[in-house]
Amino acid sequence: MTEFEQDNTTDIENIEEPITITNSNSMDEESLNQIKESFLLFDQNNDGYITKQELATLLRALGKNLTDLEINNLITNNEIQNNSIDFDTFIIIINQIIPKDTQNDLLNAYELFDPENNGFIKVNEFKHIMTNLGEKLNTNEIENIIKDLDPQNEGKIYKNIFIETLL
Ligand SMILES: [Ca+2]
């Protein structure tokens, strides 16, 4: 994901219209197109569904390494029948995975740069985090995020603001 802005889309709206992912804070249009292409590629018999095994492979291709247990939980939680996952369901699954990943990434990143647990990180350290998270943000995007994270322009980002703003 490259969008860190808050959005007002509720979870219920996302469930009703899982395809309207561009309004979600977890995926942009480019990512969605990329995922759609991958889905079609992995749906080898072109019936609009992928199997659980294809799901696992596809998730790995998208950089999401899940255990068998995690995959099975996704299958169960989304009430997937007959080992058949359509694209809408796949997007719902992706949205269930990405926020968790991002949250862990951010917390790990935060702890990495505040090992003494001072409760804040320096803005210039934060810029370093953002360029190493795997989420390639451009300078403008990073500056916009920093405006939210350091509203008093103190050069410090406090942990609570960091968590509240980015998660
Ligand atoms: Ca298929």
- What separation in Å is there between the alpha carbon of 47 and the centre of ligand 1? 5
Calculate how far, in angstroms, residue 50's C-alpha sits from the geometric centre of ligand 1: 4
pTM score: 0.48
Tell whether 2 is covered by a domain: no
**Would 13 be classed as within a structural domain?**
no
Token pair recorded at residue 126: 């934060």
Domain end position, chosen among 68, 97, 126: 97
Give the residue carrying structure tokens 């247990």.
69
Q: Identify whether 159 is part of a domain.
A: yes
Q: Which amino acid is at 133?
A: L
End-to-end CA distance of the chain: 12
Gap from CA of 56 to ligand 1 centroid (Å) = 14
Among 72, 97, 122, where does a domain finish? 97
In a domain, 63, yes or no: yes
* Residue pLDDT, tens place only, 141-153: 888 888 988 999 9
User: Tell me: the pLDDT tens digits for 10-24?
Assistant: 444 444 444 444 344
Return the CATH number at 122: 1.10.238.10
Specify whether 72 is located in the same domain as 123. Answer: no
Tokens in use for 65?
A: 């390494």
Domain that holds residue 119: 114-166
Q: Are residues 68 and 119 in the same domain?
A: no
* Same domain, residue pair 89 and 120: no
Question: Ligand 1 center to residue 48 CA distance, Å?
Answer: 6
How far is ligand 1, taken at its centre, from the CA of residue 111, in Å?
42
Predicted confidence (pLDDT) per residue in 88-121, tens digit: 999 999 888 876 667 677 777 778 777 778 888 8
Ligand 1 center from residue 35 Cα (angstroms): 15
- Per the document, the length of the chain is 167
Domain tally, the chain = 2
- CA 91 – ligand 1 centroid, Å: 16
pLDDT of 94: 86
Q: Which two tokens stand for residue 105?
A: 């990434």
- Name, in order, each residue with C-beta under 8 angstroms of 61's C-beta and a sequence gap of 6 or more: 38, 42
Query: Is residue 130 within 8 Å of 95, Cβ to Cβ?
Result: no
